[in-house]
């Protein structure tokens, strides 16, 4: 009988955690690579409008223009909607030179395919947007994209 008695080893053997750091590092590297640090901090309120007929934006050939009311910590700029480009407020007349500057900094083969991404707050009046569009026409940057949140269809 005693020949067949199970040996009392006591519990499961410990799982080796030696490869845990490797797994975690793998995840870490993934997130490090996938992370995009915001290159300009927003000085305006930016609640995007929503739409459901949207297309994807190709990031590598995009120049962003922001628009909206200055947010609360920048209230010294007034409450009228302003245009933000990179890190500064610009006037309507500065849109064309700024955009041309930004386009010239792009990759050469992408310069002809540039898309202007308009991130405009939904409470802005549309007159500001048409002012920007006028300037973009003058700058001959004709492809624009109204960036929007994706509305889920009911």
Partner 1 sequence: MAKRAAPEVNAGSMADIAFLLLIFFLVTTTIEKDKGLLRSLPPIDDTEYEPPIIKQKNLFTVLINRNNQLLVEDELMELEDLRQATIDFLDNGGDTNPAGQPCDYCQGKGLDTSSDHPEKAIISMKHNRETSYEKYMDVQNELVAAYNFLREREAARLYKQYYPNADKVFTAMLEEKEKNQFSKDEVLNERIETIKKLFPMKLSEAEPDKS
Of 43 and 64, CB closest to partner 1: 64
Contact by Cβ (8 Å): 120, 128: yes
CA distance 77 to 138: 27
Smallest distance from partner 1 to CB 73, Å = 20
Lay out the site mask for partner 1 across 43-82 (x = CB under 8 A, - = otherwise). Answer: ------xxxxxxxxx-x--x--------------------
CA distance 73 to 139: 32
Tally the C-alpha atoms within 13 A of residue 122's C-alpha that lie toward its C-beta: 8
CA distance 138 to 119: 20
Smallest distance from partner 1 to CB 90, Å = 18
Of 100 and 145, CB closest to partner 1: 145
Contact by Cβ (8 Å): 86, 64: no
Of 12 and 33, CB closest to partner 1: 33
**Is 88 near partner 1 (CB under 8 A)?**
no
Per-position b or e across 124-146, b if 16+ CB within 10 A of its CB: beeebbebbbebbeebebeebbe
Among 4, 16, 36, 41, binds partner 1 (CB under 8 A): 36
**3-class state of residue 20 by DSSP:** helix
The one segment of 33-41, 70-78, 87-95, 98-106 that binds partner 1 by CB under 8 A:
33-41
Q: Which residues bind partner 1 (CB under 8 A)?
A: 17-18, 20-21, 24-25, 27-28, 31-32, 34-38, 49-57, 59, 62, 115, 117-118, 120-130, 133-134, 136-138, 140, 142-148, 150
């Amino acid at each position: 009988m005693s020949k067949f008695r199970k040996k009392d080893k006591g519990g499961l053997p410990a799982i080796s955690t030696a490869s845990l750091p490797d797994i975690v590092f793998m995840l870490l590297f993934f997130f490090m690579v996938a992370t995009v640090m915001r290159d300009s901090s927003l000085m305006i309120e930016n609640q995007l409008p929503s739409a459901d007929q949207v297309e994807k934006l190709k990031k590598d050939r995009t120049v962003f223009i922001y628009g909206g009311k200055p947010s609360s910590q920048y209230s010294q700029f007034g409450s009228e909607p302003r245009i933000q480009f990179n890190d500064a407020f610009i006037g309507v007349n500065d849109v064309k030179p700024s955009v041309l500057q930004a386009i010239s900094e792009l990759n050469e083969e992408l310069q002809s395919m540039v898309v202007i991404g308009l991130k405009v707050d939904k409470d802005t009046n549309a007159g500001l947007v048409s002012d920007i569009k006028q300037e973009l026409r003058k700058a001959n940057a004709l492809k624009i994209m109204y960036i929007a949140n994706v509305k889920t269809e009911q």
